[in-house]
Structure 1
Amino acid sequence: MKRTGYGRRRVLVTGGAGFLGSHLIDRLLERGDEVLCVDNLFTGDKSNIDHLVGNPRFEFMRHDVCFPLFVEVDAIFNLACPASPIHYQHDPVQTTKTSVHGAINMLGLAKRLGVPIFQASTSEVYGDPAVHPQVESYWGNVNPIGIRSCYDEGKRCAETLFFDYHRQHGLDVKVARIFNTYGPRMHIADGRVVSNLIVQALKGEDLTIYGDGSQTRSFCYCDDLIEAFLLFMDSGPGTHGPINIGNPIEFTIRQLAETIIAKVGGTTKLVQLPLPQDDPLQRKPDISMARQKLGWEPKIELDQGLDRTIAYFKQKIAE
């Protein structure tokens, strides 16, 4: 990436007040970059970046990426989009607009400035996969008209735009397919399985699982994920992806719930509800490409990551 005076970069992070965006900004500032955080606060939370107020290398701008943005930066991380089913299904049309119009606007900005741009894509592009574990060459099994389609197909279209800008305009794009991630600063009511189960356990409620809990997920702690983001963006103009970023160790939802109950304690029990429409039965990344291209693999085990996440939610609930 090109650098501004004194070797410092000015980096744009869209969705920067969100769970992952705020952790990314912390890392960028730690290594000396200037950061412009852009967020419309639909699902982002200013409390995630309150600790940065007063930092001379940090700037916040309230803006919706569905509208053009004219700023001067040296690199762009595009993380703007609701990422949990509760949030992205609340306004599905706006979710698709954020993925598609947001990609067009950020790609246009990157093209004008001639800077690299990173896209936070998702394992949801694989849908309910018929290939396991999921490799980047797999095209997916996605319902184009289901209740999750606003997110799944929006992200798939965004990937199309990124690679068309690369082929047509020579843009240096980086597309990461993010698998289930967890950690501090997750929204307390985002409906994701880790935050749901931890909050229910801490409140002494029964833990809700869908189906018999035999469906699988692979959980990557946020610090590991952000490290992959930075390695990918710094990998040079020859590496574009898409690259799976996630933890390849697979757990059933029932295993996760039982682990959380054991950590939190109490007398809570598991309650089974029907499976939601198009909910994937298996989700596990093949990270061979991340290992080969980025020299990356996750280091933080679920046991350690859950301890940190439980401590965060315990504090949030007490506030």
Structure 2
Amino acid sequence: MRHYDTVKRILVTGGAGFLGTHLCERLLKEGHDVLCVDNFYTGSKRNIAHLLDNPMFEIMRHDVTFPLYVEVDEIYNLACPAAPIHYQFDPVATTKVSVHGAINMLGLAKRVKAKILQASTSEVYGDPDIHPQPESYWGNVNPIGPRSCYDEGKRCAETLCYDYHRQHNLRIKVARIFNTYGPYMHVNDGRVVSNFIVQALRGEDITIYGDGSQTRSFCYCDDLIEGFIRLMNTSDDVTGPMNLGNPGEFTIKELAEIILEMVGSKSKLVFMPLPSDDPRQRKPDISFAKEKLDWAPQISLREGLMKTIDYFRNYLKENL
């Protein structure tokens, strides 16, 4: 680990993606030297264009399935397509980025003695039998289904983190992210919040898979990034895994109706068959995060949706 100055050099993999961009912005605001690594599979140069003039920001095109040789103090490993439409497009690549990517980033952290935060997911719980989901729940995951490349890839990445921690005394943090939304989401990522907002703004039918009774908990990106920073800054004995999400629970149909009302759209709800292995319910138990981080989401669904709607409204105007 470098000790010659007080400014941290921080690597963010997947740094040009949705959450990666917000994290880079936050770390720069705190005065850190940020290395953003992305292969631009789902990340976008447009997301981080406004950061390029900052002398403390550096962008590198790189695929984390290959080793990376840099000197850093901390690593946030966010590299992985997170939307089903993207991670199912090339499921072998998704598994590779989750597993090989974790091996390479953990190997880098071991070599330079850096602290590493692994971005995991609520999908490790699969279609849960316990509600809400605590970190102690081992999950109900189909290991051979169409979502398995992501679900099992992330579960394996968690395994690797803890094996490196036990075998090499590596300083690790594992964050399990529940549905997060906000500006910089990919306009075509197929995730429910961006899908509904874009369809409503365009006056297209709102596509709901299933009968809309399945539930999700939606966490605004700023709240999640705050959780990331606090988790990274905890003492070494706090490794996680830790749920980070908003325990407010809404049905998919409720979300669609709220967005239609906020946009003022006349779009109609259209119901389609439910995809295989789609979870019936999702809600984080965040007691652990409250205890260890003094963290809980501060931004309500409507407040976060308004900011996200404004982002997509401007994006669509600029990209007609």
Q: TM-score range by the shorter chain?
A: over 0.9
Work out the CA distance in 1 between the residues paired with 2:134 and 2:183. 28
Name 1:77's counterpart in structure 2: 76
Shift of 1:5: 3.8
Work out the CA distance in 2 between the residues paired with 1:232 and 1:149. 27
Name 1:287's counterpart in structure 2: 286
**1:181-196 map, 5 Å:** 181-196=180-195
Name 1:86's counterpart in structure 2: 85
Q: Is 1:208 aligned with 2:207?
A: yes
CA RMSD of aligned residues (A): 0.8
Contact 1:4 1:10 in 2 (8 A): no
Name 2:48's counterpart in structure 1: 49
Name 2:251's counterpart in structure 1: 252
Counterpart of 2:159, as a letter, is: T
Please give the secondary structure, in 2, of the residue aligned with 1:227. helix
**1:1-319 map, 5 Å:** 4-319=3-318
Contact 1:4 1:74 in 2 (8 A): no
Work out the CA distance in 2 between the residues paired with 1:164 and 1:28. 28
Shift of 1:266: 2.9
Work out the CA distance in 1 between the residues paired with 2:45 and 2:135. 34
The Cα offsets for residues 115-154 of structure 1, whole Å up to 9 and x where unpaired, read as: 1100000000000001100000000000000000000000
Work out the CA distance in 1 between the residues paired with 2:288 and 2:279. 23
Please give the secondary structure, in 2, of the residue aligned with 1:49. helix
Work out the CA distance in 1 between the residues paired with 2:60 and 2:97. 17
Counterpart of 1:96, as a letter, is: T
Shift of 1:155: 0.2
Please give the secondary structure, in 2, of the residue aligned with 1:262. helix
Shift of 1:269: 1.4
Please give the secondary structure, in 2, of the residue aligned with 1:309. helix
Work out the CA distance in 1 between the residues paired with 2:269 and 2:3. 54
Shift of 1:4: 4.7
The Cα offsets for residues 18-51 of structure 1, whole Å up to 9 and x where unpaired, read as: 0000100000000000000000000000111000
- Structure 1 unaligned residues grouped into runs of 5+: none
Work out the CA distance in 2 between the residues paired with 1:120 and 1:40. 17
Work out the CA distance in 2 between the residues paired with 1:70 and 1:96. 22
Work out the CA distance in 1 between the residues paired with 2:27 and 2:2. 13
- Scaled by the length of structure 1, the TM-score of the pair is 0.99
Work out the CA distance in 1 between the residues paired with 2:273 and 2:5. 57
- Runs of 4+ in structure 1 over 3 Å off: 2-6
Work out the CA distance in 2 between the residues paired with 1:166 and 1:135. 22
Contact 1:202 1:264 in 2 (8 A): yes
Counterpart of 1:226, as a letter, is: I
Work out the CA distance in 2 between the residues paired with 1:142 and 1:6. 45
Shift of 1:265: 1.1
- Structure 2 unaligned residues grouped into runs of 5+: none
Work out the CA distance in 1 between the residues paired with 2:247 and 2:2. 35
- Scaled by the length of structure 2, the TM-score of the pair is 0.98
State the identity as a percent.
70
Please give the secondary structure, in 2, of the residue aligned with 1:7. coil
